[in-house]
Amino acid sequence: MWRRVASLSSALESDLMQAATCGAGAWQRAFSSTQVEVEGFERKSHPFVAFVLGGPGSGKGTQCMKIVETFGFTHLSAGDLLRKEIASNSENGSMILDTIKEGKIVPSEVTVRLIQAAMEAGRNDRFLIDGFPRSEENRAAYERVIGAEPDMVLFFDCPENEMVKRVLSRNEGRVDDNMDTVKKRLRVFSELNLPVIEHYSIKGKLRKIDGTGSADEIFERVRSAVFAALREREER
Ligand SMILES: Nc1ncnc2c1ncn2[C@@H]1O[C@H](COP(=O)(O)OP(=O)(O)O)[C@@H](O)[C@H]1O
Ligand SMILES: Nc1ccn([C@@H]2O[C@H](COP(=O)(O)OP(=O)(O)O)[C@@H](O)[C@H]2O)c(=O)n1
Ligand SMILES: [Mg+2]
């Protein structure tokens, strides 16, 4: 149940001042000037950002849809943003397509720019950023451009054989859902994404979720993790 709350409190004003001094432009532009409450949580001035990580086929997109339904997040999939960029015939389209076919990582400035624009257009204060950051370079570029760290990082831990099975039966006509590219994506995941996951584990931001079982079973784990992170943020 959504409830609009009165105008900005002085605490909220000081949050906004802090955001301004941090140069967190995307934060301010993405957030409307009223506080909103959903599922008992008061919404704060800086967007709550959750990165959603896991290997190809680990269930990131599936679980994001469920989080959106339950908690009112805006879902931004880095892969979807890149695929839209290809479809729109942008100047970077053919470079992005070649990179995705090879299972490699698109240059960070391209992806971060798309995420930043989507956050600014999103007008929400809860964002799920799915499939990002996939490398230390992605992570550094986000922190530099957006000027903030995520509030939580969900990591779907799933055995490789299960991920391969899911990707090969996904049937969405993706150029990278074939055995040859999946092998490359798994290698890139181990070499470039696991260090990012380790980074957030050390920072205490990682919520590792067992990605096996049915989508509903997995969501019960996710629901508790998201609920706890929103509550922690509320208490800060
Ligand atoms: N728990 C699950 N069990 C079996 N199949 C699943 C499960 N979760 C997702 N899938 C299916 O596996 C494929 C990959 O899931 P997806 O959410 O797209 O993963 P990711 O975004 O991590 O690549 C999709 O076809 C999806 O319907
Ligand atoms: N941060 C990102 C996310 C995706 N990508 C590219 O987009 C591809 C598909 O990403 P995706 O997140 O849609 O794939 P899944 O893990 O959901 O299967 C990746 O294999 C990369 O080639 C990227 O370069 N940088
Ligand atoms: Mg996905």
Residues flanking ligand 2, CB < 6 Å: 56-57, 60-61, 77-79, 82, 99-100, 103-106, 111, 131-132, 134, 138, 176, 185
Find the mean pLDDT for residues 213-220.
Answer: 98
**Residue 9 confidence (pLDDT):** 32
The tens digit of pLDDT for each residue in 134-159 reads 999 999 999 999 999 999 999 999 99
Q: DSSP class of residue 43?
A: P
Structure tokens at 166: 């899911």
| Backbone angles phi and psi of 84, in degrees to 5 | -65, -35
Compute, in angstroms, the gap from residue 58 CA to the centroid of ligand 1.
6
Neighbours of 27 (CB within 10 A): 24
Atom of ligand 1 nearest to the CA of 130: 21
Residue 67 has pLDDT above 90, yes or no: yes
CATH numbers and ranges of domains, the chain: 46-235 (3.40.50.300)
Helix/strand/coil for 32: coil
Closest ligand 1 atom, residue 56 Cα: 23
- Tell me the ipTM for this assembly: 0.99
Chain mean position to CA 146: 13
**Within 13 A of 110's CA, how many CA atoms are on the CB side?**
20
Give the list of residues 6+ apart from residue 219 with CB closer than 8 angstroms, or none.
63, 66
How close is the Cα of 79 to the center of ligand 3, in Å?
7
Atom 7, ligand 2: residue with shortest CA distance? 79
**Per-residue pLDDT tens over the stretch 8-64:** 233 333 333 333 333 334 444 444 333 344 554 555 568 999 999 999 999 999 999
